[in-house]
């Protein structure tokens, strides 16, 4: 444990005493506020980010989730002009030129408004560009057209998490796991969501299951990330009596 960790631990244990002192002394009150701000920032920085899975395809094999957007040229159900728009959209997306990608998907959707995949692809580019509400609308359209599309539930859950709508994010991660049991990424993101909702026991259960899956697939980077998350929960002095409303005070600025 480094010096900052030690300071945070000491501050956690002495929050009630510092607060009581601050009630009677204006200088102590200022010190308390500054220390509380430091603790909140330090604790927030120790949290791992929700797994960045916007380009998650939803298909699994026995080793690892497939990621990335595949070429549309093999989709014989769409006309050649639509496939051309999609291919250009994919290339722009992979180059992080999201506005250009969205423009190509707009053209494709104008010709094929009933394609769930097109709304999914555009939703990915919208979410990566930070247009979360628009992305959520596209993922919802994808779900309305294909209610068994686990990538759409998954990515809508990601967007809802970014918008701090944790109850809805939880529902979408639940649905993803119903459709794809044993999805390590969905389990980890559901663990993070449960933690932000104050359900640390549920978070630990999902995280440990995700940890085992990553280890079995020899994905050690993801395994270590989930392990860090588990260690963070276990090292929190207040984790067993975590209050969801209290969590908003500390994590709202994510």
The CA–CA distances, whole Å, from 239 to 151, 152, 159, 201, 246 equal: 31, 32, 26, 9, 11
Write down the pLDDT at residue 77.
Answer: 61
Write down the pLDDT at residue 80.
Answer: 85
Rounded to 10 deg, the angle between the 184-196 and 150-162 helix axes is 30
Rounded to 10 deg, the angle between the 116-128 and 150-162 helix axes is 30
Break the chain into its structural domains and give their ranges.
1-46, 47-251
Write down the pLDDT at residue 236.
Answer: 72
**DSSP structure string for 132-189:** HHHHHHHHHHHHHH-TT-HHHHHHHHHHHHHTT-HHHHHHHHHHHHHHSTT-HHHHHH
Q: How does residue 235 score in pLDDT terms, banded at 50, 70 and 90?
A: confident
- What are the b/e assignments for 47-76, b being 16+ CB within 10 Å? beebbebbbbbbebeeeebeeebeebeeee
Q: How far apart are the C-alpha atoms of 189 and 226, rounded to whole Å?
A: 10
Is the pLDDT reported for residue 91 higher than 50?
yes
pLDDT tens-digit series, residues 68-77: 444 444 454 6
Is the pLDDT reported for residue 167 higher than 70?
yes
pLDDT tens-digit series, residues 23-36: 445 444 445 444 44
Write down the pLDDT at residue 125.
Answer: 97
The arithmetic mean of pLDDT across residues 110-133, rounded, is 96
Is the pLDDT reported for residue 251 higher than 50?
no
> Which architecture does CATH list for 47-251?
Alpha Horseshoe (1.25)
Question: The pTM is what?
Answer: 0.68
């Amino acid at each position: 444990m480094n010096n900052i960790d030690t300071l945070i631990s000491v501050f956690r244990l002495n929050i009630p005493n510092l607060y009581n002192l601050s009630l009677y002394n204006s200088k102590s009150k200022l010190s308390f506020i500054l220390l509380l701000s430091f603790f909140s920032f330090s604790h927030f920085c120790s949290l791992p980010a929700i797994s960045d899975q916007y380009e998650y395809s939803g298909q699994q094999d026995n080793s690892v989730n497939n990621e990335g957007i595949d070429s549309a040229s093999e989709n014989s159900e769409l006309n050649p002009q639509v496939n051309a728009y999609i291919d250009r959209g994919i290339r722009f997306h992979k180059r992080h030129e999201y506005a250009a990608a969205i423009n190509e998907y707009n053209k494709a959707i104008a010709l094929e408004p009933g394609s769930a995949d097109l709304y999914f692809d555009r939703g990915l580019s919208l979410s990566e560009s930070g247009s979360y509400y628009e992305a959520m609308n596209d993922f919802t359209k994808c779900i309305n057209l294909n209610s068994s599309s686990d990538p759409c539930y998954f990515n809508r859950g990601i967007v809802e998490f970014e918008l701090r709508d944790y109850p809805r994010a939880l529902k979408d991660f639940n649905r993803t796991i119903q459709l794809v049991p044993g999805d390590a990424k969905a389990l980890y993101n559901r663990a993070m969501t449960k933690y932000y909702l104050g359900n640390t026991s549920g978070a630990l259960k999902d995280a440990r299951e995700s940890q085992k899956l990553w280890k079995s697939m020899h994905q050690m980077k993801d395994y270590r990330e989930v392990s860090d998350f588990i260690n963070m929960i276990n090292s929190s002095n207040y984790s067993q009596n975590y209050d969801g409303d209290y969590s908003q005070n500390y994590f709202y600025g994510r």
